[in-house]
Chain A
């Protein structure tokens, strides 16, 4: 059974390397970065404690929010999904991404204290 899992994984990684455009790979790298940052913040909170709690929350929510927005951007600019996003050009998606981020950062900075 582990054999088939391993072979599925290698197949997946290979397909990813070959088929995904570099634009999407850039966003994927960014997603991984945000994920790790969020994980590190959580780990820090577990180890050191929750004071000040509002700062932890705002930082963590910032990671989560950025992750979600980046995922949305990725979905919207993926050419394979073009059928579902006919009215949204990649530039429009990026502009939305920037605007949403502005709002997110406003809230995060307000809450971080």
Chain B
């Protein structure tokens, strides 16, 4: 028995280990972006960023945001004048917006006085917040003013230890990317890894800060800005990069201009940094090819929907889902007008589904550049050799087969009575290649136009892919309710891979059933009639019947001499007993008629009466009782 237990434990253990290995193997399959910006989303981003400015802050977001998307503001001169008119030289924040925005414009110089410069320098200290340091440093850098990088670094380090939140550290990263490369940025660089560890993994699909989309997007742009500046690859794995892409680009309608700015910055960072370039591969339209549309077209873009024209897109392998036979291997796509195309029909695939494994090569930065794609090959079906015949059951009379060509209808109708079978055979082939097909839906529908009856049968193929349908009139009479008459016979053929589903009225079939069995009128079967209510049987009678202990109990009590003789007939005693009986009766009425609230109401009334009466009664009993002296003797203190 011990050995048996051991074997069980061992098998359980190996089962668990293999499950773990299996799951790891599945996990090794690379993640691809499930959420990304579409061209219309990018247009919408651009449209919102191009709206007229309301204040200097919104001007900053719009101008700098558009420049990150590689676009420029419509009216650069007007924007420059707006900045100059609205800048407040006594506020570091205002100077920051003005400096960054004017730098993004082609030629917009803002005059900086000495006081302004001193103000900005003074803001760089351990006593300012990280946000203020970031704004001051960015403004100094954009105004091309000299700045002491090492001082900034020490100020930032001091502030990071005091302000340990995501946004502050992100701003510190952003600030560090504006400093001289000779400064000691190593410690600040390490913050990227610490911050990345704080990201929440949601279901293996999303990676984001709990502070939200904006914080995540700003982190991405800051991390890549600093990494590019010091030329050190950020410690983000490929899967993490894709999860960040999913998080940032899953929201398609944004709440505020600052959120839109952060998304645009992140998109720019993902498209243009030195280390990681996420690739988005999607089919143009449905991934379907057919003889009329033989080209498989793919869009291969970066996150800003710009096509990667320099990339090589190759089909690593393409195999049929059904037969697992490989059709293609290492076949390249050709680039035409920004779309990558492949003529799949040239390989003469049979209709069905194919699993494509596509690789995008040409840049070592590419992330998520292996994509799995399911491609459907559609075809048109042709119906050959449609032969209809009426066969006598005892086969004494030779069969007469009628051939019908699609899409015409048989001229004469067929007659079958209960001694005969009706048979139909046909073949379904691919119109172009002539290969036999077995579509998902091959039905034979018989429709009685007079009564509206409809009976549908399934036609099955045999081993040689020849479809046969046989109707035994006598055997199937229940399906038809034995209703004789003319039935129109239709053939229905359909499948996901067929471009031309078929509904073909092949012939008319006159069925003759035995007259006695036919019902006078056909009742339409109404399945949706309310069913009769289920009455709950009250099992009350059971209680009285199945109460075996009760007689035993009564006998015992009688033997013990229950004290019935000692009932006093004082009013309180009577009232008590009546009240108690009333309460028990109320319980019964509650069960049958009342609800809880009404019961409680009555119970309160009867209960209080019973209580008062009972109290009086028991008190009287206590007084009369010979033991009362013991009960009510006052407690002796001390």
Chain A residues engaging chain B, CB cutoff 8 angstroms: 22, 25-26, 29-30, 32-33, 36-37, 40, 44, 52, 55, 86, 89-92, 94-95, 98-99, 102, 105-106, 109-110, 112
Contact = CB atoms under 8 A, between A and B. Distances in A.
B603 interface: yes
Contacts of A33: 549-550, 552-553, 556
Contact of A40 (B548, B596, B603): B548
Which 10 A-B pairs give the minimum distances between C-beta atoms? A91-B618, A36-B549, A33-B553, A29-B556, A109-B591, A33-B549, A89-B631, A109-B587, A105-B587, A25-B560
Contacts of B556: 29, 32-33
Contacts of B587: 105-106, 109
B53 to A, nearest CB: 69
Nearest to A52: B536
B553 A29 contact: yes
A109 B603 CA distance: 13
B580 A98 contact: yes
B13 interface: no
A90 B615 CA distance: 12
Residue among A22, A36, A52, A109 with the most chain B CB within 10 A?
A109
A91 to B, nearest CB: 4
Contact of B622 (A55, A89, A112): A89
Query: Could you say which of A29, A44, A55, A92 has the most chain B C-beta atoms within 10 Å of its C-beta?
Result: A29
Contact of B548 (A26, A36, A92, A99): A36
Given A94-B618, A95-B618, A102 B603 contact: yes
B638 interface: no
B539 interface: yes
A36 B550 CA distance: 9
Interface residues of B, number: 35
18 contacts: A22-B560, A26-B557, A26-B562, A29-B553, A33-B556, A36-B549, A40-B547, A40-B548, A86-B635, A89-B631, A94-B618, A95-B618, A98-B580, A99-B611, A105-B587, A106-B587, A109-B591, A110-B596
Nearest to B558: A29
Contact of A95 (B553, B603, B615): B615
B564 to A, nearest CB: 12
B562 A91 contact: no
A36 B580 CA distance: 25
Contacts of A40: 546-549
Contact of A112 (B580, B584, B591): B591
A106 B603 contact: yes
A83 to B, nearest CB: 12
Nearest to B590: A109
